[in-house]
Structure 1
Amino acid sequence: MKIAITGKGGVGKTTLAAVLAKLYAGEGYRVMAVDADPDANLAAALGFPEDKQRKIVPLSEMRELIAERTGAQPGLVGQMFTLNPKVEDIPERFCAEHEGVRLLVMGGIKKGGSGCACPEHTFLRAIMRHLLLDSKDVLIVDMEAGIEHLGRATADCVDAFIVIVEPSLKSINTYYSIRKLAAEIGVNKVLVVGNKVKDRDDENFIKNHVGADKLLGILSYDVTVEKADREGVSPFYASKQTRESIAVIKNKISQLCIANYSLMPKANF
């Protein structure tokens, strides 16, 4: 099962990704969580101790490894490099693990104007493509807003794109943009979770804009989650309300996805 979570910045993508990962791990699934957001916070949301967090090196910063696999030096312009670097061993070698969840931190490309035609992006995209194609347990990707960087490799590989929205037009517009782009590359399973909902008006606002058939569930506004984020505590432990609400959403996702993989052999991450 492969789930990609996206939406406008600040809507709660990382909270949903972290709690889903911990819920699945608690049920005995082998879980790979991928932090594909350049503003990486998934390790903290998963409850990784600070000493483990400090040891995690984003893959985009492994310059020697990128040079070895792509045949080009990161940061230099005008080089020739392989577009299909070997990455099969990367998840096993470089993931961190805590409480049954394995984590890969992709990192971002900070060089202005680098676009995707560079060794760093080629390396990261190859890893994502490998994970999306080969993972057969639970893969949860905390993405940055939009899905452009994954390209057409996602079309037959993602069981569900989940867009987090809050009761605001900006958030809804981001959902429409993601849905349009997904349709253009052949991804039709785009579902929605409403977050930071304070009352019935907020809930109806989201339902009216996305459609009840696309809505997996609603998460109420929870000040405990914001406090946990400031204190570096996993929302899984901080908020029973949010944990239980996401558990209901998880069951709906499982009903949609797991049947497709029930007879497939286990993957070796």
Structure 2
Amino acid sequence: MKIAVTGKGGVGKTTLCALLARELASQGKRVLAIDADPNANLGEALGYDEETSGRIEPLIEKKVLVEERTGTKPGSMGGYFVLNPKVDDLVERFSVGIQGLRLIVTGELKEALGGCYCPENALLRSFLRHLMVERDEWVILDMEAGFEHLTRGTAESVGTLLIVVEPGQRAMNTAGKIASLAKQLHIRKVGYVINKVHSEGQEKRVADKLGNDAIWATIPFDFLALEADLSGSSPYDQCPEMLEKIRGLVRRLLSDAEE
């Protein structure tokens, strides 16, 4: 199953991705976690120690690779380059093993003046297409808000889109816009995960706005998650209450995958 996770910045989507990926891996599933957020920190949330093991270089920063696969130097726009470069070996070459799963950091798409395409984007889009369409493991994609990383073809291969939302008008408005875009891209299953909930009243207000049936999980605010972040620990190892809620969500996802 291919699961994309998005939402307004700061709502906790990276934490959700880490918990989902770790729990699926603990149940024996083959999991590939993809950090496509410009503020890449999924590795840390999974338990990767950057100070000891070094920074994971995003694919889009690998200039030699980009030029080798597209035939054009990074930073170039216009001209001729390979639009569908070879990417099927990148997971094996550049992913990092963490806690029984694999992680790869892609980096963000480059903004091109006047809508121009560039070799970095060609490589990244081809790679995401390969991940979402051709690979058969559980893929957890940590996205920025919006669908800049996904073309229509890759979006249609997303089995589930999880939109993380916290109690607050801005987060709810962003979530609603993302859900509308998901419908336009024909993503079949879309669910909201309410995070950082302090009370039942907050949960009800979010559910009333977004629709009760669309709420797939509710996760209470957890001070232990803050402590885990401060200490550089994975929330999977430090937040039992959050993990119990995630296990309920995973049961739903596993059931959907069997349909």
Separation of aligned partners in 1, 2:234 and 2:149: 28
Would the aligned equivalents of 2:156 and 2:185 in 1 still touch at CA under 8 Å? Answer: no
- 1:179 alignment counterpart: 179
SS of residue matched to 1:190: strand
Task: Indicate how the Cα distance of structure 1 residues 5 and 52 shifts in structure 2: closer, same or farther if over 3 A, else same.
Answer: farther
2:25 pairs with 1:25: yes
Distance 1:54 1:9 in 2: 25
The correspondence of residues 106-117 of structure 1 with structure 2, limited to 5 A, is: 106-109=106-109, 113=113, 117=117
1:69-80 alignment runs, 5 A limit: 69-80=69-80
Deviation at 1:108, TM superposition (A): 2.2
CA contact (8 A) 1:44 1:53 kept: no
Tell me the SS of whatever aligns to 1:224. helix
Residue of structure 2 equivalent to 1:92: 92
Q: In 2, distance between residues paired with 1:166 and 1:14?
A: 13
Say whether the 8 Å CA contact 1:154–1:187 is kept in structure 2: no
Residue matched to 1:157: 157
After TM superposition, the structure 1 = structure 2 runs for residues 1-269 of structure 1, keeping only pairs within 5 Å, are 1-51=1-51, 53-109=53-109, 113=113, 117-256=117-256, 258-260=257-259
Relative to structure 1, is the Cα distance of residues 116 and 133 closer, same or farther in structure 2, using a 3 angstrom cutoff?
A: farther
Q: Measured at CA, do residues 116 and 124 of structure 1 come closer, stay the same or move farther in structure 2, by a change above 3 Å?
A: farther
Closer, same or farther: CA 46–123 of 1 in aligned 2, 3 Å:
same
Structure 2 distance, partners of 1:140, 1:169, is: 27
Q: Deviations over 1:143-183 (max 9, x none)?
A: 11111320102343111000000011111111111111111
The TM-score with structure 2 as length reference comes to: 0.95
Q: Is the 8 A contact 2:159 2:187 kept in 1?
A: no
Q: How far apart are residue 121 of structure 1 and its match?
A: 1.1
Structure 1 moving runs of 4+ over 4 Å: 109-116
Cα pair 2:3 2:160 within 8 Å, conserved: yes
CA contact (8 A) 1:21 1:140 kept: yes
- The amino acid of 2:16's aligned partner reads L
Tell me the amino acid that sits aligned with residue 162 of structure 1: L
Q: Secondary structure at the match of 2:204?
A: helix
SS at 1:76 equivalent: coil
Q: Is the 8 A contact 1:45 1:233 kept in 2?
A: yes
Mapped partners of 1:19, 1:238: distance in 2 = 11
Higher mean C-alpha displacement, 233-242 vs 108-117: 108-117
Tell me how far apart the structure 1 counterparts of residues 114 and 53 of structure 2 sit (CA, whole Å): 27
Shift of 1:50: 2.7
Are the counterparts in 2 of residues 75 and 111 from structure 1 also a CA contact under 8 Å?
no
Residue 251 of structure 2 aligns with an amino acid whose one-letter code is N
Equivalent residue, structure 2, for 1:267:
none
TM-score, length-scaled by structure 1: 0.91
CA 1:211–1:53 in 2, change beyond 3 Å: closer, same or farther?
farther
1:226 deviates by 1.6
Q: Within 2, Cα distance between the matches of 1:18 and 1:30?
A: 14
Unaligned 5+ runs, structure 1 = 261-269
1:112-156 deviation digits (Å, cap 9, x = unpaired): 748671111111111111000122221101111111320102343
1:238-258 deviation digits (Å, cap 9, x = unpaired) = 1111111111111112112x2
Q: How many residues align?
A: 259
Q: What letter is aligned with 1:244?
A: E
Letter in 2 for 1:214: A
Where do 5+ consecutive residues of structure 2 fail to align? none
Note if contact 2:46-2:234 (Cα within 8 Å) is conserved in structure 1.
Answer: yes
Distance 1:59 1:17 in 2: 20
